[in-house]
Amino acid sequence: MKLAHTALIAALLVPAVAFAAGPNIYKARHDNFEAMGRAMKGTADQFKSGNPDIAVIRANAAVLAAAAPKVAGMFPKGTGVEGNPKSEALPAIWQKPADFAAANKRLVDATKAFQAATATGDMTAVQGAFGAVGGSCKNCHESFRKPRA
Ligand code: HEC
């Protein structure tokens, strides 16, 4: 019984540890950010077209709203440059966890508001809410991502 219990706990712990420590966290993070980047560009392209398609914007808003809540959990300790020299994650993520959490909340709130605005179809509101999402990306990158040349 005791052995079975230990085995059960081990089985439960192993995937979590592998996720936190393995190189896959970098790929998962990269893929999630890339998906958000594509959704942002796809939306911006609609506004630039002069004849935005609300269905396309709604689909992008759904991608953003689904991806945003995943970001906070994708930065376990030890997954900065120490685990992958190519990572642009700054140590501030782990030094200022409350600030990082606030930046994540801003993203989640902004993507929710954006998705809600697309449901109304009011294009002025949609564009304003889209701008706020972009602001939330920039806000976090300024403090927590290595500056890009
Ligand atoms: C709470 C902080 C935070 C928010 C909010 C955030 N990012 Fe990032 N982003 C990062 C960090 C940190 C990295 C660097 C990750 C790494 O290199 O390990 C990054 C990297 C990226 C990358 C490069 C991915 C790669 O691996 O090459 C893209 C693209 C990106 N973010 C897009 C976005 C977009 C679009 C948004 C808003 C919709 C956004 N991010 C919001 C923190 C954030």
pLDDT-based confidence at residue 149 (cuts at 50, 70, 90): confident
Q: Output the pLDDT for position 78.
A: 94
5 assigned ligand-binding residue = no
H-run or E-run covering 72:
none
**Is 47 within the bounds of a domain?**
yes
**Is 3 within the bounds of a domain?**
no
**Is 36 within the bounds of a domain?**
yes
For residue range 38-56, list pLDDT tens digits in order: 999 999 999 999 999 999 9
pLDDT value at 23 more than 90: no
Q: Output the pLDDT for position 109.
A: 98
121: phi > 0 → left, psi -120 to 50 → alpha, else beta; which? left
| CATH code, domain carrying 79 | 1.20.120.10
Q: Alpha-carbon distance 140 to 136, whole Å? A: 6
**What would the mean pLDDT of 53-65 be, rounded to a whole number?**
98
CB 75 within 8 A of CB 97: no
**Is 123 within the bounds of a domain?**
yes
**Is 8 within the bounds of a domain?**
no
- Number of domains making up the chain: 1
* Ligand 1, atom 25, residue with closest C-alpha: 30
Ligand 1 centre to CA of 1 (Å) is: 46
Q: Is the pTM of this model over 0.85?
A: yes
- Cβ burial of 66 (10 Å; 0-12, 13-18, 19+) is middle
Ligand 1 centre to CA of 29 (Å) is: 8
Q: Output the pLDDT for position 18.
A: 42
**Is 89 within the bounds of a domain?**
yes
Q: Output the pLDDT for position 14.
A: 45
3-class secondary-structure state, position 45 = helix
- Tell me if 145 CB under 6 Å of ligand 1: yes
| Ligand 1 atom with least separation from CA of 93 | 12
**Is 4 within the bounds of a domain?**
no
- Tell me if 39 CB under 6 Å of ligand 1: no
**Is 40 within the bounds of a domain?**
yes
**What would the mean pLDDT of 114-131 be, rounded to a whole number?**
97
Percentage above 70 pLDDT, the chain = 85
Structural domain of 121: 25-144
**Mutate-to-test residue for ligand 1 from 29, 31, 32, 33, highest number of ligand atoms within 8 A of CB:** 33
Ligand 1 centre to CA of 72 (Å) is: 11
